[in-house]
Structure 1
């Protein structure tokens, strides 16, 4: 995967005629082992390369809805720049450097644009226009070219708040609806699962906080880079609940001990006022904003009970509702802690070396390039590079690996990891908001806010179900007594009970809590799942395809044997060095490093060319020389009888052969071998144990190497001698066999196959921004150790979501049935609703405890 794709899945499939050559020129660097080199213009895992005909094509529509770069409609499209004013956009989906020029040319054709500049590295577009230019025309033009734009100016008034007190998804909707009625609020988004609210507004923060408090919740602004504040334990709320409970008990006892009915009614009335004040106030604003949340339904039930003389029932309803809310808040807070626990990993202060002195600074004040001193046992405050000292670092908070990693001068270290032994000095390479742990936190938060397909369906179902039952309750209250079937009091009571059951709180809460818990657990274990969609998809995977080099194997091959045939060994290595020095393929790098270690110098070469899937060529000493596989030299019709048998013998040992020669002769053979990762066999066995029955290896290597590696790793099938487009065909073949296929790569190579698969999994995400931002799931460690846990966790999450949904539906169905015979009292209805919600939350919390 290459530079940031972000929203590239959202891009319409296009072929840009004047850019057709961009992939073909880069594709020369593709060979039989690695799908696509890092610098390839199509190296994002969100694009599928169709041969060499089109530059990049979009990810299939199925993944588009859950792309991490999904962009909301801009609320400022009507802004018009004045003469010479500069407006900035973020461009999503630009994975080819030449696209920058394409966009600039496209915009330059528009009237009233003075200047358009696109920076590929930062994915930013700057437009300078006069007062006749509408931003609509800019965005439309960019969209025609197949990209998405996000006006950066829209963030000017965007603020993030923490919201306390939400115990149901309908609460979030009520807040959104209420704030949307305020003229100064442009856009609002409230996420119940994370307790976070994003509001774009022109009025003050205090006014927003005040408006949220009106509907019964507490909001506080979260400063950029700050940690979410822990929700207060609400001792005052529990005190009021206790007082209300005592009043109800006194009234109940008094009614059986000759106490005046007026006195017991007063006790119940006081209890209703104390516990019912907050939900009634929230209900008022919910109705005002046209929402039917639980506050409305409970308030109606309590007030209705009081009006028909059922004071005890009314008091019990509000008391159980308040108690249920408090317990739900306490339970749901445990899931939200998964984010705070991640944030607490990185220390807030750092010791900065200034001359010969150490100065303690807040991490927000530390700039790139400053020297930080970290003592043994301390957590590393910022990402950096070791410049002094040696140590072992526990990287479990980032990668989930339990074994400390040795760090020497020049190695990278990450904020939040623990310095186990020696004292070290690091040079800061990233600001606090750009550290790996900060990006993990951001991605996890974004993932937890995205709705999974199941959740989206249930939310839609609830939005239809609640109004229908509300209307049904009114019908039950009015029609039967109107036609003489029973008394008004009897049917009003049944209608009120139906109102309480009308809000499917447990059903709505069943999915998001499970998703938040699972994603939080995964992040703690060094796995980034980019949203509920991918969590659900991972749970359904039954086949996984692995790239061999760098995934199943170390990806660090070594030269094992050199056979010079018509020249000296040093001359052969020198020629190979010269030929391979311009390639970024792992085997080429291995030969170059070997030559350097041996002190061999390269020759003067020119006219270098990569031959796709076969090797490389260059002109050395006025003669064209080649380095590549057997297929390359077969096509040159050179006599290779002796060489072929030797090559077959070497390949049968699982080694890769690089042949060096000219069009006239074979000059020598260099054997290169790779080693299987120590964690590979255990990880693959773990996958079989959790029910993944098809493990497939894809490689560009020869049949002998592929067979040997497959035997050692226990994969079910292997496909050898594959070109990039061949790997795509294998993925499609597996899908046609009925498998849900995940593709595992190292985050850089195998873009087409990753794009075609149902789920793209990148490994080695720590320190690799592109992998973190483009893959569906990222294994932060550079091994497969956590993959079985990811699949197990996803399947457990799916199972719990199904359990929660069925439990919620059954409880609601039973409650509805019991209403009409008169067996379901109001307080039982409340207990069934809040009790079911609490049970659903506690069931989902089990996902936090699933061991990695």
Structure 2
């Protein structure tokens, strides 16, 4: 049996959650299709396909049968699935007024206008003119309704609208039938336009990456090529005012770079040789030579776009509940409308014409579109708004949970502090200081931990001869061990040294003195002998205190969990006025987080390097990593601008999104309730009834779009 292949397909005119449900239901029936995800927010269908059982063309044909247009990325023609590796292209090649929905709205409007003009000139033929207009206008929607019913989605909005329009023609209300179809077509067009606006945030990210790059040839010439042709290792020239064409590393030059496309931080960042630069960043003033480290399909912005798209596909709990509710609600609404039409005339002497008319109006009011779109529209806008501000959230579930968080745990090193500690003291207890530092640097040379990097940097700054080390192994939270030419050397915490039995009273006194100054101390052990101590100090992030205050303003309690020594932790906690627990091994951190989770949702914030277990255990893991791989991949949310206040902004964004969802649900249900009462009292006409759904859908979508302009007020 063939291995299923992952495919993705852009679908034009798919702009609401009910469209997505209909497509998903139809595709599920094909053999060999699995893992279907339909994302109305980005207009994407993704699935796994066994091509021995179903061909890609069958998927495209089924999408077409439902009245939608499959479009391959970057092309203007339809009918092709494409592999995920083909990259990102969110422009389907046509403006909203060129789409199918715009054409249907224009045609139904023209037919309605012609019928109106004909009835004015020939009043006795008014019924005939409007019947023809209504019948012709409803045909495309009837075809979609029939196709949906045959493919497993009988209770679509097209079904409700078609039944109502045909029923109105049969009872002699053809003018209202024509008006209903026209208003429905206009409503669908407005949804389409609004959905396009919601996708604009992601399109804007795509457009920030330049299309061309100035690549250096082996003979030193400059060659202008398409940015997508860049390969890892290529050297490009980035002039002042240019955007960086892909992720890379500066090999010559220095400049200020505006990294707001990636981090949301508008203040330019000074960059020098060796610094990483991100695709889309704007070079302010100096000529740079940059070695490319990622291709166009894999650069930071491409990965952000991919993660936001995936996040939009991950339904929030509220959205899943509403989807389940809508699947039962629509057939129930059709039964209620039928009862309204039949029961009063049969049992209470009502007039058939009057109650059939009211039943048809109820059918139109019952359309679930506004209710179904209320949550995903808000979630999609919230995710896009966050991405614009360097707040990356991987899914509606995480976005919802953040709004309910009452406690936030912070790692210390690299999160509340800058994460670039510097060696302040080297204490030799046996031999020379330089020898102690050189051996520690040899053990830590392959480490990515901030303390290890600082030790290596200090040895290099002293121009020490760092010996070769072999077979380095780490014990989380305790030590790193490697074999040098004269034996094994351990670099570890004072606790590790105590457990190894190598600390004497003089060493304990010295460790206490250094830790009382808020420094972190590591021990260097060779065999069973303590060679010396290395003390390191880190500096708090500039906005750490502000970040703690903003969380407290939101009613959220921050606390610090660190593996560092209690004295260093106490010094930081005192400055930030927060509770803390120190000297925690990874399993102790997990136990603390699990205990806190029993009282409510807990967020854990770490640098994404050594905090993966804690991040994954928390209700929501938040990584601070300035666009690094780890920050993007480890947790459910990432703060790309490396600012502590970003945590409060995440929570504020989540709460704004949850508030928007509540408003949307209120609008959708409230309008339906009002119109249902007025319909039963005979105060609502058919064309007003369609506004109960179309109007609510447009209001809900417009309300959700307000989130795109989100500015955190914390």
| TM-score bracket relative to the smaller structure | 0.7 to 0.9
Contact 1:779 1:787 in 2 (8 A): yes
Deviation digits for residues 147-175 of structure 1 (CA, Å, limit 9, x no counterpart): xxxx4x524xx3512322x4532223334
Higher helix share: 2
Match of 2:189 in 1: 326
Closer/same/farther in 2, CA of residues 636 and 465 from structure 1, 3 Å limit: closer
Contact 1:180 1:187 in 2 (8 A): no
Q: CA deviation at 1:509?
A: 0.7
Q: Is 1:764 matched with 2:625?
A: yes
Deviation digits for residues 412-432 of structure 1 (CA, Å, limit 9, x no counterpart): 222222122222222222222
Distance 2:434 2:180 in 1: 89
Deviation digits for residues 111-135 of structure 1 (CA, Å, limit 9, x no counterpart): xxxxxxxxxxxxxxxxxxxxxxxxx
Q: Is 1:284 matched with 2:146?
A: yes
Closer/same/farther in 2, CA of residues 480 and 743 from structure 1, 3 Å limit: same
Question: Structure 2 regions of 5+ residues with no counterpart?
Answer: 75-85
Higher relative contact order (CA 8 A, sep 6+): 1
Match of 2:210, SS state, is coil
Closer/same/farther in 2, CA of residues 173 and 809 from structure 1, 3 Å limit: same
Q: Is 1:160 matched with 2:23?
A: no
Deviation digits for residues 203-236 of structure 1 (CA, Å, limit 9, x no counterpart): 8888866654554333322253251225523266
Closer/same/farther in 2, CA of residues 349 and 665 from structure 1, 3 Å limit: closer
> Normalising by the residue count of structure 2, what TM-score does the alignment of the two structures yield?
0.88
Closer/same/farther in 2, CA of residues 185 and 269 from structure 1, 3 Å limit: farther
Q: CA deviation at 1:812?
A: 1.9
What is the aligned-residue RMSD (CA, Å)? Answer: 3.2
Closer/same/farther in 2, CA of residues 304 and 796 from structure 1, 3 Å limit: same
Match of 1:234, SS state, is helix
Contact 2:242 2:282 in 1 (8 A): yes
Q: Is 1:518 matched with 2:367?
A: no
Deviation digits for residues 247-282 of structure 1 (CA, Å, limit 9, x no counterpart): 476578x4xxxx754332244234424543332332
Q: CA deviation at 1:549?
A: 0.9
Equivalent of 1:539 in 397, 403, 409: 403
Distance 1:573 1:564 in 2: 9
Match of 1:478, SS state, is helix
Contact 2:37 2:313 in 1 (8 A): no
Matches within 5 A, 1:145-156: 151=3, 153-155=4-6
Match of 1:556, SS state, is coil
Distance 2:111 2:444 in 1: 81
Distance 1:182 1:590 in 2: 57
Equivalent of 2:18 in 170, 180, 185: 170
Bigger CA drift: 217-226 or 367-376?
217-226
Distance 2:362 2:501 in 1: 86
Distance 1:642 1:797 in 2: 58
Q: CA deviation at 1:814?
A: 2.5
Closer/same/farther in 2, CA of residues 266 and 187 from structure 1, 3 Å limit: farther
Q: CA deviation at 1:599?
A: 2.8
Deviation digits for residues 59-97 of structure 1 (CA, Å, limit 9, x no counterpart): xxxxxxxxxxxxxxxxxxx44xxxxxxxxxxxxxxxxxx
Q: CA deviation at 1:602?
A: 4.8
Match of 1:677 in 2: 541
Contact 1:241 1:323 in 2 (8 A): no
Q: CA deviation at 1:535?
A: 0.7
Distance 1:700 1:186 in 2: 44
Distance 2:512 2:257 in 1: 44
Match of 2:332 in 1: 468
Q: CA deviation at 1:459?
A: 0.6
Match of 1:220 in 2: 71
Equivalent of 2:561 in 698, 701, 707: 698
Distance 1:604 1:221 in 2: 53
Matches within 5 A, 1:154-303: 154-155=5-6, 158-164=7-13, 166-178=14-26, 189-198=37-46, 212-223=63-74, 224-229=86-91, 231-234=94-97, 237=103, 239-240=106-107, 242-244=109-111, 246-247=113-114, 250=117, 254=120, 261-273=123-135, 275-290=137-152, 291-303=154-166
Q: Is 1:782 matched with 2:631?
A: no
Q: CA deviation at 1:565?
A: 5.4
Match of 2:606 in 1: 745
Question: Structure 1 regions of 5+ residues with no counterpart?
Answer: 1-77, 80-150
Contact 2:201 2:385 in 1 (8 A): yes
Distance 1:604 1:820 in 2: 86
Deviation digits for residues 361-385 of structure 1 (CA, Å, limit 9, x no counterpart): 2223333332322221111222222
Contact 1:504 1:812 in 2 (8 A): no
Q: CA deviation at 1:660?
A: 5.0
Q: CA deviation at 1:628?
A: 4.6
Bigger CA drift: 284-293 or 170-179?
170-179
Closer/same/farther in 2, CA of residues 617 and 283 from structure 1, 3 Å limit: closer
Match of 1:559, SS state, is strand
Q: CA deviation at 1:498?
A: 1.7
Contact 2:393 2:636 in 1 (8 A): yes
Matches within 5 A, 1:584-603: 585-602=449-466
Q: Is 1:376 matched with 2:240?
A: yes
> Normalising by the residue count of structure 1, what TM-score does the alignment of the two structures yield?
0.74
Contact 1:250 1:267 in 2 (8 A): no
Q: CA deviation at 1:635?
A: 5.1
Bigger CA drift: 325-334 or 407-416?
407-416
Contact 1:764 1:783 in 2 (8 A): no
Closer/same/farther in 2, CA of residues 685 and 607 from structure 1, 3 Å limit: same
Q: CA deviation at 1:320?
A: 1.7
Q: Is 1:824 matched with 2:675?
A: no
Match of 1:713 in 2: 576
Contact 2:9 2:70 in 1 (8 A): no
Distance 2:151 2:472 in 1: 69
Closer/same/farther in 2, CA of residues 630 and 154 from structure 1, 3 Å limit: closer
Matches within 5 A, 1:518-597: 518-564=382-428, 567-574=431-438, 576-577=440-441, 585-597=449-461
Closer/same/farther in 2, CA of residues 261 and 304 from structure 1, 3 Å limit: farther
Match of 2:5, SS state, is helix
Matches within 5 A, 1:80-99: none
Bigger CA drift: 603-612 or 169-178?
603-612
Aligned length: 691
Matches within 5 A, 1:322-721: 322-354=185-217, 355-483=219-347, 485-564=349-428, 567-574=431-438, 576-577=440-441, 585-602=449-466, 613-615=477-479, 628-634=492-498, 640-659=504-523, 668-692=532-556, 694-715=557-578, 717-721=579-583
Contact 2:489 2:525 in 1 (8 A): yes
Deviation digits for residues 524-570 of structure 1 (CA, Å, limit 9, x no counterpart): 11122111111111111111111111111122211223444565444
Closer/same/farther in 2, CA of residues 557 and 172 from structure 1, 3 Å limit: closer
Match of 1:305 in 2: 168
Q: CA deviation at 1:831?
A: 1.1
